[in-house]
């Protein structure tokens, strides 16, 4: 997998990756706003071909987020 070919979106917000800065300074607030909804899409493109999959995920409870907030870099 080539990290330079990967991309991640939360809702319609592109998330900077591979250590590169975003050209949009408000991306983090927009991503946070999108994640406040009870449901939101996330799209990860690994840049490895046309294959697709879908899955549902959870465990973003207040306690879980609180525990992991200390790891934010």
Q: Which residues pair with 42 in a beta bridge?
A: 10
Which one has a higher pLDDT value, 61 or 29? 29
Number of domains composing the chain: 1
CA-based nearest residue to 60, from 42, 36, 41, 44: 36
Which one has a higher pLDDT value, 58 or 49? 49
CA 16/CA 8 separation, integer angstroms: 8
3-state DSSP call for residue 35? helix
3-state DSSP call for residue 8? strand
Question: Is pLDDT above 60 for 55?
Answer: yes
pTM beyond 0.85: no
List the end-to-end C-alpha distance of the chain, in Å, as a whole number. 23
Domain enclosing residue 25, as ranges: 3-69
């Amino acid at each position: 997998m080539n990290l330079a070919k990967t991309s991640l979106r939360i809702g319609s917000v592109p998330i900077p990756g591979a250590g590169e800065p975003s050209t949009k300074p408000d991306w983090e607030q927009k991503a946070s706003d999108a994640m406040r909804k009870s449901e939101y899409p996330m799209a990860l493109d690994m840049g490895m071909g046309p294959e697709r999959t879908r899955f549902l995920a959870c465990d973003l409870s207040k306690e879980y987020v609180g525990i992991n907030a200390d790891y934010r870099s």
